[in-house]
Structure formats: structure tokens, C-alpha cells
């Protein structure tokens, strides 16, 4: 049977049977296929623990973009979400880039439709357009510079004082960068469904229960949370902080997948996940990141599908803003 990308999107990957023998030995089978096909597995800190364990590199958006731009592997399997795999394809267009589930999107990227963003840009001519990496390839092509949460402040600070800037799509990150740089960037009103749901009062109550705990937050969180946080940073920066800071307890205000690495790096420290507004839902899990499973990774490597496919002209234009980011990082 010859499959196509669409088969995996429309019918769901797991309709293809995996034999019991392979299921019982899934990790080894993945590692075997990875070697045979000269593939590399890049994984974000938010994916399931068992995937982080088998990945060649686990990182934040910036680290993973850098790795994708310099790897010698023939295939990049991206255990993450669509915009991350698209970024890898733009930076390494000659390579085959696979995403285990094409439905792994991003609510922040979705909050910025291309046509609406174009109109927004038309309303503010003569502005430098800076976009967060959590965007589609089309939005990257409309941007002058891409940033991630680990280099946004540095990159904005590197521009001239009077440069007029539009920042999209994350309003919370944009607000945070404005506060750190003293700039007055015009912000697109987008947000991430995970980070906007954390409950300030529940976090303050946790702090009463654990008074010596440090509150650490991702800059995609809403302003009231940023204001009470002891440390704010990208996933990689949060990890580094928990490793080097002398506190032994942390209230972690970001997607819960990061706790795996935190506990692995500091087994003697205590990490508490911050509660979302609705205590009955696991809203501090990114449902898109969690679409990645070992079964899908196995099938993805076996069939080399689903593959990220982007128009070559789109790649050329979008690459300019990503290259600019890599130069300035």
C-alpha cells in the first residue's frame, strides 16, 4: 500500500495496524529505523516524557531551529507542532521534514490569519515587522525578523531606538518585550490557549502553601502572572534557572511537559504545576504537543509520512526573516 500525506491527516495514523511484536518493542524499533534512514529526532520540552527520552535533541524553539539549520541527517523528524516543523523545513529545504501528526497545530499561530495580518500591516506602514516563531510560514514571509521567547528582548534591543515596530502574534510576549526594552511596539492581539488559562489566585494560594517556592513563568502568560513571577523566560531559560537557583521548590507556570526535564536535571528539587482556571481540565497541557506519540513516530519513520511540504518561493521569502533571527541571536 502506498500512502500519501492526506491519508494520515484524514484517517488518522493509528488506523494502520502495528503488530504486537513491534508494539512490545517500540523504542528499539524506532531507534533501528532512525539509524537505517539516517534520521534525527528533534523534540520540544512539551512533548510526552517517553518521546523526550528517545529524542536526539530536546530543546526550546530557538535551540531546535539552530539544530534544524545545521544537521547532516537526511530526515528531520520533528516531535513538536506544525510551526516548528515548518521552521525546520524553511531552514533546511533540501531535507525531508516529518511531523508525526499534521493536526499538531498551535493556537497562537492560529490566532494570526494571513489576510487579517496583511490588513493590520497596511494600517501601519513603515514599521519593521517582528514575528514570534509561533506563526505559519506565510506570516514569516510577511515579517522582517523572527524571534523566539529566548531572544526577543535581545533582538528588539539591537534595533535602533527610533525604529517603529509591529509585533505579532503574541500580545503577552509583546507586552513583556515592551516592558523590558522601553519600546512601544504595536501588538497583534493573539494568545496561546494554554498560557492564558493559568489562574492568578490559585497560584497565589499555592505560594501561601509553599512560601519559599519561586514562581517561574513563560512570557506567553498574562500580565498579572508576569508581574508576580520571580523569574520569566523561555522553556530553556526556565530549565537553566531551576538548575542554578538555590531554591528547592518551584511553581512552574508553563506547559506541564517541561516538568520531565526539570525533574531529570534536579531530582532533589520539588516542581509544582500551576493550576489553570478550570481545575477540572488539564488545560496546562498543550493538546497539540500531546498528539505526538511513540506509535505515530514509529509509523512516521517507517512510511516517511506525513511530510512537511512548502512552496519553494514561500520558503525563500520566509527564510530571510529566520536567517535574520539566527544572525542576531
Which residues are at the interface with ligand 13P (CB under 6 A)?
Answer: 60-61, 134, 148-149, 192, 218, 220, 234-235
Residue 151 sits in the site that holds ligand SF4 (CB under 6 A): no
Select from 4, 190, 174 the least CA-distant residue to 83. 190
Residue 314: phi and psi, rounded to 5, are -65, -45
Residue 107 sits in the site that holds ligand SF4 (CB under 6 A): yes
Beta carbon nearer to ligand 13P, 30 or 194: 194
C-beta of residue 240 within 8 angstroms of C-beta of residue 216: no
| Binder of residue 107, out of ligand SF4, ligand 13P, none (CB less than 5 to 8 A by kind) | ligand SF4
CB 20 to ligand SF4: min, Å? 33
CB 64 to ligand 13P: min, Å? 8
Residue 192 sits in the site that holds ligand SF4 (CB under 6 A): yes
Positions 228 through 257 that interact with ligand SF4 (CB under 6 A):
255
Q: Which residues contact 129 (CB under 8 A, 6 or more apart)?
A: 121, 142, 143, 144, 145, 165, 166, 168
Beta carbon nearer to ligand SF4, 222 or 255: 255
The mark string for 63-102 relative to ligand SF4 (x by CB under 6 A, - otherwise) is ------------------x---------------------
Q: Pick from 156, 226, 232, 286: which binds ligand SF4 (CB under 6 A)?
A: 286
Q: Which residues contact 160 (CB under 8 A, 6 or more apart)?
A: none
| Binder of residue 256, out of ligand SF4, ligand 13P, none (CB less than 5 to 8 A by kind) | none
CB 218 to ligand SF4: min, Å? 8
Footprint on this chain of ligand SF4 (rule: CB under 6 A)? 81, 106-108, 134, 192-194, 220, 255, 286, 288-289
Amino acid at each position: 500500500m502506498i500512502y500519501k500525506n492526506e491519508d494520515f491527516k484524514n484517517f488518522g495514523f493509528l488506523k494502520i495496524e502495528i503488530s504486537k511484536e513491534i508494539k512490545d518493542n517500540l523504542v528499539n524499533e524506532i531507534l533501528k529505523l532512525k539509524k537505517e534512514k539516517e534520521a534525527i529526532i528533534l523534540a520540544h520540552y512539551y512533548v510526552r516524557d517517553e518521546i523526550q527520552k528517545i529524542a536526539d535533541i530536546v530543546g526550546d524553539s530557538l535551540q531546535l531551529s539552530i539544530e534544524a539549520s545545521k544537521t547532516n541527517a537526511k530526515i528531520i523528524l520533528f516531535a513538536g507542532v506544525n510551526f516548528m516543523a515548518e521552521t525546520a523545513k524553511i531552514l533546511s529545504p533540501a531535507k525531508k521534514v516529518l511531523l508525526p501528526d499534521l493536526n499538531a497545530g498551535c493556537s497562537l499561530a492560529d490566532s494570526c490569519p494571513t489576510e487579517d495580518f496583511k490588513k493590520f500591516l497596511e494600517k501601519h506602514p513603515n514599521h519593521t515587522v517582528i514575528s514570534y516563531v509561533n506563526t505559519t510560514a506565510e506570516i514569516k514571509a510577511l515579517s522582517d525578523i523572527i524571534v523566539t521567547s529566548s531572544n526577543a528582548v535581545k533582538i528588539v534591543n539591537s534595533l535602533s531606538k527610533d525604529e517603529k515596530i509591529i509585533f505579532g502574534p503574541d500580545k503577552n510576549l509583546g507586552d513583556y518585550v515592551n516592558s523590558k526594552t522601553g519600546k512601544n511596539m504595536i501588538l497583534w492581539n493573539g494568545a496561546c490557549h494554554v498560557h492564558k488559562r493559568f489562574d492568578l489566585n490559585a497560584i497565589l494560594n499555592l505560594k501561601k502553601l509553599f512560601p519559599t517556592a519561586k514562581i517561574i513563568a513563560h512570557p506567553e502568560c498574562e500580565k498579572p502572572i508576569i508581574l508576580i513571577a520571580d523569574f520569566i523566560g523561555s522553556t530553556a531559560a526556565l530549565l537553566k534557572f531551576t538548575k542554578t537557583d538555590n531554591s528547592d521548590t518551584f511553581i512552574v507556570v508553563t506547559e506541564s511537559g517541561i516538568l520531565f526535564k526539570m525533574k531529570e536535571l534536579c531530582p532533589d528539587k520539588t516542581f509544582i504545576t500551576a493550576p489553570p482556571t478550570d481545575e477540572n481540565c488539564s488545560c496546562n497541557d498543550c493538546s497539540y504537543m500531546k498528539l505526538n506519540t511513540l506509535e505515530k513516530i514509529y509509523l512516521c519513520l517507517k512510511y516517511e509520512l506525513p511530510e512537511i511540504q512548502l512552496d519553494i518561493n514561500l520558503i525563500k521569502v520566509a527564510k530571510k526573516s529566520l536567517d535574520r533571527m539566527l544572525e542576531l541571536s
